[in-house]
């Protein structure tokens, strides 16, 4: 049986639930969206239900602990090809081994999950220091990102605490989603297309000009080292940094 889900983490947990409900011995795999399945495989569409997802997630947390649950979630957000089969093995072994899961980290399936989780966590940590908000004409703080991994769900709680008194939105341009905080509620919203008429406030335009001027003046030409800069701040992030605009190679 191939279980087809909507591509979200809650949807994946619901697929896990259905696999256990039907008997894992009959499970051929879990597929997201329109991913191809086996030619002669029987398929089952799995609806994403919050209650079911919470039930599976809580059971895994109870049996395997916080760290194992965090690895599972972050590994899913890495969006690696074929992630479902590896993660399903990880979940299945977790329910079997319980806290003994930690002692099996050298197993290929466990090590892969751990490595994926590390990559997602590392990119989220880097972006926590690189996200640049700008004030729009409407007063909203707005930032654009385009990360390799789906780190928006990890960034949103961080900035909710850091900027709790401001209304803001972080727009993942690549995935066409935004995390929004209206000073009361944090939510994710689909953004079908990037708006081209986004206007900064007058104070924001002045601030960015001042910042770019300051950045140019403190630069020491003799110490210019693009390779070293890229090792600390990958070039893929430059296009969203005001200080890197109007500079060669900034886009």
| pLDDT on residue 130 | 87
* Cα torsion through 167, 155, 191, 14, rounded to 10: -120
126 pLDDT above the threshold of 60: yes
Q: Give the residue from 87, 92, 82 showing the smallest Cα distance to 31.
A: 82
| pLDDT on residue 226 | 62
Q: Quickly state the pLDDT bin for 14 (edges 50, 70, 90).
A: very high
Q: Quickly state the pLDDT bin for 50 (edges 50, 70, 90).
A: very high
Q: What is the pLDDT of residues 153-193, one digit of tens each?
A: 999 999 999 999 999 999 999 999 999 999 999 999 998 87
Which has more pLDDT, 196 or 64? 64
Q: Over the chain, what is the mean pLDDT?
A: 85
Q: What is the pLDDT of residues 186-237, one digit of tens each?
A: 999 998 876 666 776 666 566 556 545 645 655 656 666 666 556 666 677 6
């Amino acid at each position: 049986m191939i279980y087809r889900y909507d591509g979200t983490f809650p949807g994946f947990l619901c697929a896990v639930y259905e696999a256990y409900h039907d008997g894992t011995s009959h499970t051929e795999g879990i597929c997201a969206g329109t991913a191809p399945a086996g030619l002669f495989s029987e398929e089952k569409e799995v609806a994403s239900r919050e209650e079911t997802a919470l039930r599976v997630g809580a059971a895994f947390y109870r049996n395997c602990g916080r760290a194992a649950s965090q690895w599972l979630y972050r590994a899913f957000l890495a969006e690696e090809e074929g992630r479902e089969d590896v993660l399903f093995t990880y979940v299945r072994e977790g329910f079997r081994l319980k806290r003994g899961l930690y002692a099996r980290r050298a197993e290929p399936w466990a090590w892969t999950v751990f490595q994926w989780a590390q990559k997602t966590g590392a990119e989220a940590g880097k972006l926590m220091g690189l996200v640049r908000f700008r004030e729009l004409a409407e007063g909203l703080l707005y930032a654009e990102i385009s990360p390799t991994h789906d780190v928006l769900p990890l960034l949103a709680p961080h900035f909710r605490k850091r900027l709790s008194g401001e209304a803001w939105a972080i727009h993942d341009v690549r995935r066409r989603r935004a995390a929004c905080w209206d000073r009361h509620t944090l939510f994710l919203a689909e953004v079908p297309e990037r708006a081209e008429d986004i206007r900064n406030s007058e104070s924001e335009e002045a601030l960015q000009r001042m910042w770019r001027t300051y950045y140019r003046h403190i630069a020491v030409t003799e110490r210019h080292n693009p390779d070293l800069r890229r090792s600390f701040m990958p070039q893929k992030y430059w296009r969203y940094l005001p200080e890197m605009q109007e500079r060669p190679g900034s886009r």
